[in-house]
Chains A and B, each alone.
Chain A
């Protein structure tokens, strides 16, 4: 079972869309069992895909986090099957925003402490963030059998990103769009990530959505996103390259259905997502002859 973080420094860059469609491809075409975790707890998106809302007092992911940090006994996290191979772990029952808001307030009591201590060492090899992540991962694993757990993280430099930039997250897919604030902001995040002791961060970078027309200001943008001009920073990571995902009229934010209408080999967007999903899969599968 491998864990994959989908992160973006800023929002609206197609992070969740990339996650959803690559998860869908891996589940439907490659027969992989994928769990999608909505860790974008302040602005849940994929949670809205949930059809069967359970009562608020159930152990939704957000409630689980509160229980975990409060040192309460945690229960089995709420999951929901989206299809045979796809499982959703929603942040909360988003039909009822009041208890959700209440839980966020409760959680915020612990966030300062997480933020402050995330990078502190608990032993010579791992940090507080590593330990928190290991517990969360193990509790998600207890909900079912998965080949992959995809985490949709919240944007910015937050306690969530501190946890999910743990060295135990097997792959980090970092999405940014075609402008300087996105590229520079994301590069700055990479710059401040501490060098890992056990595992170098595996990084796959995505630029999305690529505008249809090229302009002078885009010259060199892929190379800058790929850190071609900063080999010292890139050497801190196991760098897996940069993919550009093109703009696609039919794809709207967090739409899970329009993917079906796009045909392989005829649609640039779909083919790029397939390449991304296969790259993720190839990283973890040794090509045994």
Chain B
């Protein structure tokens, strides 16, 4: 079985070559080696990264003389993979890791949005599992910009709201948007995030925390309070770090009632027993803000510098400094 038969059977992909994710100009660099057939077979083979890169380097350095034998061996690998994974969704999920790793090899581990644009242009298949797992493999590798680009396309073309995988795409989109702290400054991205969090099903913590964050960013104390009271039962089930994330937002909102409410939840979860841990430092840092203890704030800020995301705190400081100026 060669790469064409393999890709057609597994992913309904035809007419693809190894350079699907790079420009024509970049492709010319590899073409001078005149090894297209073997490169295509190697590119799409379910072979681990290290091995594939090693053979790729040998090919472009023209160190392999017997490419016929190599081709034969690769074809056996295609067959073995088909035999080992004869359930389509598992096979595709597993295969997409190899697929992604080829993009890594071709781009020398420097994947950009441009590569994804070439990929989208050069690949034609209606196999929605291919597109879903493609999004997922980019998301799993923390390529958030590329994930967002792909999700938008996949939601439009292949996976609509009635598809059971749609909800996962909403999750990947939401987390990818939140990864870039740009949303703290950009109200349009905030709106998108808030809309997505309302659509999301089955990810209680992410959903409730994002809804609370939306109320916080709009400085809507009434909404924030309502959400806390509505989801009190759920919040109490979260781990201490997750409850501290809610406490953080309530502290920056500077509303005594809600600070006391979340504080009592933390006591219920025995925050005192965490004394000496990072979680307790975060708790003390937030308490220092409530008490406006500048010395303690600075001390704990320095101590937590490498382990805590201060982006909400920076936003809070900016707002309070501006308010003081007014």
Contact = CB atoms under 8 A, between A and B. Distances in A.
Interface of A: 184, 188, 191, 214, 216-221, 223-224, 228-229, 231, 239, 241, 243, 264-265, 268, 271-272, 274-275, 278-279, 282, 286-289
Contacts of B87: 268, 271-272, 275
Interface string B61-95: 00000000010011001000000111100110110
B202 interface: yes
B50 A264 contact: no
B51 A288 contact: yes
A287 B239 contact: no
Tell me whether chain A's interface is mostly helix, strand or loop, or mixed. Answer: helix
A271 B86 contact: yes
5 contacts: A224-B203, A243-B90, A265-B86, A286-B50, A288-B51
Interface of B: 45-48, 50-51, 55, 70, 73-74, 77, 84-87, 90-91, 93-94, 136, 139-140, 142, 164, 167-168, 171-172, 175, 200-203, 205-206, 237, 239
A275 B84 contact: yes
A278 B93 CA distance: 14
A287 B47 contact: yes
A220 B86 contact: no
Contacts of A286: 48, 50-51
A231 B142 contact: yes
Residue with the greatest number of chain A CB neighbours at <10 A, chosen from B167, B172, B202: B202
Given A231-B175, A286-B48, A287-B47, A220 B90 contact: no
Contacts of A214: 164
Nearest to B87: A271
B51 A289 contact: yes
Contacts of A268: 87
Contacts of B94: 241, 279
Given A278-B84, A289-B73, A289-B74, A216 B201 contact: yes
Contacts of A218: 202
Contacts of B167: 219-220, 223
Q: Which 8 A-B pairs have the closest CB atoms?
A: A220-B202, A278-B84, A219-B202, A289-B73, A219-B201, A275-B90, A287-B47, A271-B87
A218 B203 CA distance: 11
B303 to A, nearest CB: 19
B60 to A, nearest CB: 16
B17 to A, nearest CB: 19
Nearest to A217: B202
A289 B84 contact: no
A216 B46 CA distance: 35
A275 B86 CA distance: 8
A171 to B, nearest CB: 16
Given A221-B202, A228-B136, A228-B139, 20 more contacts: A188-B239, A191-B239, A217-B202, A219-B164, A220-B201, A220-B203, A223-B167, A223-B168, A228-B172, A243-B90, A271-B87, A272-B90, A274-B86, A275-B86, A278-B84, A287-B47, A287-B77, A288-B51, A289-B73, A289-B74
Contacts of A282: 84
Contacts of B93: 241
A188 to B, nearest CB: 7
A241 B95 CA distance: 12
B202 A224 contact: yes
A239 B136 CA distance: 14
Nearest to A246: B87
A275 B94 CA distance: 10
A288 B76 CA distance: 11
A277 B91 CA distance: 13
Nearest to A279: B94
Contacts of A264: 86
Nearest to B73: A289
B203 to A, nearest CB: 5
Nearest to A272: B87
Contacts of B237: 184
B106 to A, nearest CB: 18
Nearest to A287: B47
Contacts of A275: 84-87, 90-91
A200 B95 CA distance: 23
B203 A229 contact: yes
B202 A289 contact: no
Residue with the greatest number of chain A CB neighbours at <10 A, chosen from B74, B90, B140, B164: B90
A241 B202 CA distance: 19
A229 B205 contact: yes
A279 B85 CA distance: 9
B86 A287 contact: no
A159 to B, nearest CB: 22
B162 to A, nearest CB: 13
A220 B171 contact: yes
